[in-house]
Structure 1
Amino acid sequence: MSGTASRTATIIYTHTDEAPLLATYSFLPIVSAYAAKAGVEIETRDISLAGRIISQFPERLTAEQRLPDALAELGALTGDPSANIIKLPNISASVPQLKAAIAELQAAGYDLPAYPESPSTDEEKEIRARYDKVKGSAVNPVLRQGNSDRRAPASVKAYAKAHPHRMGAWSADSKTNVATMGHDDFYSNEQSVIIPTDDTLRIEHVAADGTVTVLKDGLKVLAGEVVDGTFMSVAALRRFLTEQIARAKADDVLFSVHLKATMMKVSDPIIFGHVVQAFFPTLFEQYGDQLAAAGISPNDGLGALLSSAAKLPEGDAITKAVTAGLADGPKMAMVDSDRGITNLHVPSDIIVDASMPAMIRIGGHMWGPDGEEADTLAVIPDSSYARVYQAVIDDCRANGAYDPATIGSVPNVGLMAQAAEEYGSHDKTFEAPAAGTIHVVNSGGDELISHQVEPGDIWRACQTKDTPIRDWVKLAVTRARATGAPAVFWLDENRAHDANLIAKVNAYLPEHDTEGLTIEILPPAEATTYSLERLRKGEDTISVTGNVLRDYNTDLFPIIELGTSAKMLSVVPLMAGGGLFETGAGGSAPKHVQQLIKENYLRWDSLGEFFALAASFEHLAGYANNAGAKALAETLDRATGTFLNEDKSPTRRVGGIDNRGSHFYLALYWAQELATQTDDPELAKAFAPLAETLAANEETIVAELIGVQGSPADIGGYYRPDDAKASAVMRPSKSLNEALAAL
């Protein structure tokens, strides 16, 4: 062993979902073997969707089936300075995904209850409450107890410039645009207050007849915390949607809607359901009562509706009504035109932060029913951030596509700690039960926020604590100082929440040395235009944003710059002193799994894992005084540079190296770096034989890895693969496995 640690040298690697999970079966054995030689222990925790479901129902399961609540454990660990967590992308489950995972587990012998759509009994309400802990963005608010520092590593940016990815051409007469409400939405109705002292708030609905219904009680807030309340008028939403459907048809462009039904797990599925109803008005006029009586919700999407309706006596007529609605309306943007999967089939298929950059990257197009690209009307109902995408579209229409070989970079510092802003609103989001007023009142009965609402209006409250805001400002200054790039706070003084944040930013900036730095505050659309102007000149600009724009920007700019957001370095310096290291986006993970099952080929690129692991080792080296971890970090960083220069990322088709082959080459280059480094002779001696073995057997190992491709693969389950089967599929090289075992 090398590098005796004065503190615990442990890294926790998360077991998640879909393609990142499958990649873990291949990559983690390499990581564990290498780390062990440096006195670093790698532990795992299961925070997959299936694992989270299982952990909620221990009393219904056998001792062998039960799993601890790993997410709660990791949440507690984030408050420990020793925390060192590598977090892979996980499923933020929509209701259809949650139901599918439950069904798979039930079929595998887990005695889990069905998901109650409309709970009426106490038992059903209690079951629903447990499942609500699992669905949507259940993981991130728990683990992200720090703010986000997300950027393209220098090696990735250099590779993108040397090997620019394809960008679709933009036409000056492109009819692609964003449609957004601009009034009667969350942005325009927002009210915001700063809490003067620690307190407990209550959210209540007061009906027109004076009946008071408490929606949320015991809401604890801290001094200096920003609390917001807002609502979207459903009547205005329906008018807006009807207008945009007509506009798309008149302009002869594709109709698409872009929401975040996974992270915004209460509000956005409701909005999605209204889009489905607006697109098929005749269907719901004729069969809405029957669908509702059968418990079929438009919120689950057109796919679930058609599948469930097929069992009804009116099933054939409903299917014909859908077909007629598609024919009568504008052409619909498609998820999979070959299979007839539309933009409205599954609420989690079109996620705004992934779908909009993809559309921009290919020239402002989405795919139509004919399988061809076409201009698109991108409907983003709430106007809080929609104008960001319109600004990018306007820039591309005027100046053409971006050139990855010459453009600069837009890294991000994101406010997200302690469930900041909208992503922490799930337990405070409600459909208004009746006409009346929704109030937020403090413990003394004083009204802080008040809105007049109509039945079905979508009301939500958000919290943003003061300590994360202070830390966010500090991190922005730190990154500006480290890079010399301007730091721009994307805040709109005309939005209530942002106005309060601007006041805090202006109060906290003087606490730091900002001499010589360029730090500005601009509304999001203006900040976008400013950053794009610099981007085209090859200049970098740090975007300093709230939680949702953090999510949007860390897909938008990396997809423009690098072709993917999976290659970003994402570090979360936890406020307690530990580190959370995230590994990139998982938006394309489902398609990768489908390809693996079909032809035993996994296209997932683990580059994000490589970057996160190096940062994790580096952090551990400092915390635990572990020289071996320092050597692992430095050699892994150099090995990743070689990996990029040698172009060993997965190819796109069967016959080339896939994810498993890329792991082999990373292992080879890493072993070679370790064997030749001079800071730790004992470690070099330990890895010299492995480096020689891997190099000597390169041809054999690659042949073994490629030889299994082309036939179906059995992993034993989508949401919960069988460990033995998945490991066999993802570790098919006997020579590589034996070499690692010898280490």
Structure 2
Amino acid sequence: MSDTPKIIYTLTDEAPALATRSLLPIIDAYTDSAGIRVETRDISLAARIIAHFPDYLSDDQAVDDHLAELGEMTGKASANIIKLPNISASTPQLKEAIGELQHQGYDLPDYPEDPQSDEEKEIASRYEKVKGSAVNPVLRQGNSDRRAPASVKAYARKYPHSMGEWHADNRAEVTHMNAGDYYQTEDSHTFEDDAELTVTYFGDAAETAVLKQGVKVQAGDVIDAAVMHAEPFRDFVRKEIADAKEKDLLFSVHLKATMMKVSDPIMFGWVVCEYYKEVLDAHGETLDEVGFDPRSGLGDLYKNIQSLPDDKLAAIEADIARVNNESAPLAMVDSHRGVSCLHWPNDIIIDASMPAMIRDSGTMWGADDNQHAAKALIPDRCYAGIYKAMVDDCRDNGALDPTTMGTVPNVGLMAQKAEEYGSHDKTFQAPGRGVIQVTDTAGDVVFEHNVAREDIWRMCVTRDAAIADWVKLAVARARDSGMPAVFWLDKKRGHDSEIIDKVNKYLADHDTDGLDIQIMEPVAAIKHALARARAGKDTISVTGNVLRDYLTDLFPIMELGTSAKMLSIVPLMAGGGLFETGAGGSAPKHVRQLQREGHLRWDSLGEFLALAASLEHLAKTYDNPRAQAMADALDKANSQFLTENKSPSRKVGEIDNRGSHFYLAMYWARALADQDQDSELSEIFGELADTLEANEDKILQELNDAQGEPEDLHGYYYPDDERVSQIMRPSPTLNDAIKKVAERAKG
């Protein structure tokens, strides 16, 4: 292990990336003073694209593959990585990013929509490595520990966010399929020996295709396979559209088309096709000619048809308008701009969209720019039930109260690409009617599913070592916190049944005396957690990877108003630490506000919390008292930051993200000045604290004066770094004070 304490700070996308340009110079100056080196690695969508095409670019444009480098780093005990939210790119986002880079002079190839030649297929394979959740499975080589720190919970109770009212006559609905979904079709198997699997399609017309081979599994691994049948799905959507119209409910669909980058875009496309069936039937040939792909949504249709002759364009737009008027009303993502939930697949990400609906009394925005009761379609039963249970609970018991409710932290099984989120390369759309088989090394059939054309078949892997580590982490959190822990597992589901056996096996390896640890199916588990939360009691949710993702937005948004204020620690299985800074679902709208008004309301509290945990981990790893002093002082600064309510305001002219960084710097400097663990740090930061406190009004004025005018970032996916730094560091007084500390640290 290196003798030099080092923290790796990731550069990502959108609002988090903008905020980093303001915060990182402060962090650099402070940590340099403690002999801690902070290095950056760019894992933004644009940088990942560039890294995969060095042979197309000039030497001065090419960049290293920082994601691959970090992936290797996670296997070392010295790893200490702070990971900010990044774009999990849908196809439309990927194409936009490529287009922006091409406009900036990067000679990248176009994204092949339907690759035919070997060259196109090779290009497509490179872009596939960038699309969807390309980052998290690489970095998350450990399981997830997400919780609201005590200081954050106290802040939420003192300054509660608004919650919509719920009454017994609330008409909101959550609906799901009852047959033909993953839940019904899932088979699962635990391997006793190492094996190598092959996935083969056998068509009724005697055609055969090897879909995947060489899938290596190890003894103890759990392997699942399941099918989402297309026709039952389409039938379900048709019925729900008609039902929403009859009940005058907004029609909405909630999927995860970024993380589930193969399956969920297809399902999204099916919904688009059913809702706009009359349009596609009437104009299908024309839409095929312009390259419309339903998986990319109505926004892609509007974009592609602009090249058509006026008469064809007008006919298509008229038919779309007619369907919108005559069918069930669509829930809107941006009612001001007429953007519906069927415009773009990345606009209806379930973990962000469903908590917002529940927080807003089961309503969503309609085309009339008003809120209305909504019907939420969550097709697969594996997870839909938890949202339905929360809607029913709110209808029966009223809105949750942030001032009194308990907390529901999460221990999530996500190490080593666990479960569905790591299944992209093992997900396929059936080319016709037949069967898909999985065979092992000996040629024996492990799984076999009947499929029809367009059905989605997937296979998922959950590593035995990751499960063992997950159970160990759950026991440790229950012991450390004193909270009961509940494993959310359904014995009626193939995968969960196998995992339950594993949980019982590995629980026996730990001292659980005095601990309250239970296993409940997800609907019963959420009812249990909600009842305890309403009584002010705390409950650890211990879940698989997908529920981890959903719950670590759902409960934090109810408790805190945002998931960005959660502490997210990933104890890496090799001994290092990954410290995540919260979710980025709201990042795009924050960027748009900065571009329009020069005000960035992104809240960096997640970064503050992650940095404190990172410093504490570093202090223990290197037995470094100075790092511990920095961590302890930052904890105090974070508490003061919350107590003084210095989070960004929504309004132009008031404190924004840059102002919140100033207050963090001032509070952290004063806490370092007042600590008695390290006299040299006390002296350095005493001078800085005095300077910042004496110039508080001046610095705030400089920061607020920078607001109110549009800002050009010179790029959205790959903005000009110098320009962004100018925008995000507009206070000469603050910059000079930080520069002096940095210069002193460097000698």
| TM-score bucket (shorter structure) | over 0.9
| 1:374 paired residue number | 372
Looking at structure 2, the residues matched to 561 and 502 of structure 1 have their Cα atoms a distance apart, in angstroms, of 29
1:364 paired residue among 362, 365, 368 = 362
Contact preservation (8 Å) 1:7, 1:625: no
Equivalent position amino acid for 2:277 in 1: P
1:698 paired residue among 696, 699, 703 = 696
SS in 2 for 1:348: helix
Contact preservation (8 Å) 1:185, 1:233: yes
Looking at structure 1, the residues matched to 713 and 551 of structure 2 have their Cα atoms a distance apart, in angstroms, of 34
| Residue 188 of structure 2 corresponds to residue 192 of structure 1 | yes
Deviations 1:266-325 (A, max 9, x none): 000000001001001111111123222332101001011111022134322111111111
| 1:91 paired residue number | 87
Looking at structure 2, the residues matched to 573 and 366 of structure 1 have their Cα atoms a distance apart, in angstroms, of 37
| 2:217 paired residue number | 221
| 1:473 paired residue number | 471
| 1:274 paired residue number | 270
Looking at structure 2, the residues matched to 201 and 294 of structure 1 have their Cα atoms a distance apart, in angstroms, of 40
Looking at structure 2, the residues matched to 114 and 233 of structure 1 have their Cα atoms a distance apart, in angstroms, of 32
| 1:555 paired residue number | 553
| Residue 242 of structure 2 corresponds to residue 254 of structure 1 | no
Matches within 5 A, 1:637-676: 637-676=635-674
| 1:714 paired residue number | 712
Looking at structure 2, the residues matched to 126 and 90 of structure 1 have their Cα atoms a distance apart, in angstroms, of 25
Equivalent position amino acid for 1:104 in 2: E
Looking at structure 1, the residues matched to 451 and 712 of structure 2 have their Cα atoms a distance apart, in angstroms, of 52
Looking at structure 1, the residues matched to 670 and 82 of structure 2 have their Cα atoms a distance apart, in angstroms, of 24
| Residue 50 of structure 2 corresponds to residue 54 of structure 1 | yes
Contact preservation (8 Å) 2:167, 2:395: yes
Deviations 1:559-590 (A, max 9, x none): 00000000000000000000000000100000
- Give aligned-pair identity as a percent: 59
| 1:16 paired residue number | 12
| Residue 419 of structure 2 corresponds to residue 414 of structure 1 | no
SS in 2 for 1:385: helix
| 1:102 paired residue number | 98
Looking at structure 1, the residues matched to 327 and 667 of structure 2 have their Cα atoms a distance apart, in angstroms, of 55
Looking at structure 2, the residues matched to 295 and 6 of structure 1 have their Cα atoms a distance apart, in angstroms, of 53
| 1:201 paired residue number | 197
| 1:39 paired residue number | 35
Residue 6 of structure 1: CA displacement? 8.1
1:27 paired residue among 23, 26, 29 = 23
| Residue 728 of structure 2 corresponds to residue 730 of structure 1 | yes
Matches within 5 A, 1:62-461: 62-313=58-309, 314-461=312-459
Equivalent position amino acid for 2:483 in 1: A
Matches within 5 A, 1:568-717: 568-717=566-715
SS in 1 for 2:531: helix
| 2:490 paired residue number | 492
Contact preservation (8 Å) 2:2, 2:78: no
Residue 328 of structure 1: CA displacement? 1.3
Equivalent position amino acid for 2:680 in 1: E
Contact preservation (8 Å) 2:79, 2:577: yes
Deviations 1:607-649 (A, max 9, x none): 0000000000000001112211111100000001000111110
Contact preservation (8 Å) 1:94, 1:262: yes
Q: Runs ≥4 in structure 1, deviation > 3 angstroms?
A: none
* Larger mean Cα displacement after TM superposition, 377-386 or 623-632: 623-632
Contact preservation (8 Å) 1:599, 1:710: yes
Looking at structure 1, the residues matched to 178 and 639 of structure 2 have their Cα atoms a distance apart, in angstroms, of 46
Equivalent position amino acid for 2:346 in 1: S
SS in 2 for 1:461: strand
Residue 211 of structure 1: CA displacement? 2.2
| 1:515 paired residue number | 513
Deviations 1:192-245 (A, max 9, x none): 111111111000101113322000011111111111100111010110000000
| 1:533 paired residue number | 531
Equivalent position amino acid for 1:368 in 2: G
SS in 2 for 1:384: helix
Equivalent position amino acid for 1:505 in 2: V
Equivalent position amino acid for 2:637 in 1: A
Looking at structure 1, the residues matched to 344 and 290 of structure 2 have their Cα atoms a distance apart, in angstroms, of 19
TM-score (norm 2): 0.98
What is the aligned residue count? 739
TM-score (norm 1): 0.99
Contact preservation (8 Å) 1:714, 1:729: no
Residue 426 of structure 1: CA displacement? 0.4
| 2:745 paired residue number | none
SS in 2 for 1:683: helix
Residue 685 of structure 1: CA displacement? 1.1
Equivalent position amino acid for 2:458 in 1: R
Looking at structure 2, the residues matched to 51 and 600 of structure 1 have their Cα atoms a distance apart, in angstroms, of 25
Contact preservation (8 Å) 2:405, 2:535: yes
Looking at structure 2, the residues matched to 122 and 312 of structure 1 have their Cα atoms a distance apart, in angstroms, of 31
Looking at structure 1, the residues matched to 78 and 14 of structure 2 have their Cα atoms a distance apart, in angstroms, of 29
Contact preservation (8 Å) 1:6, 1:625: no
Residue 682 of structure 1: CA displacement? 1.1
| 2:481 paired residue number | 483
Contact preservation (8 Å) 2:291, 2:304: no
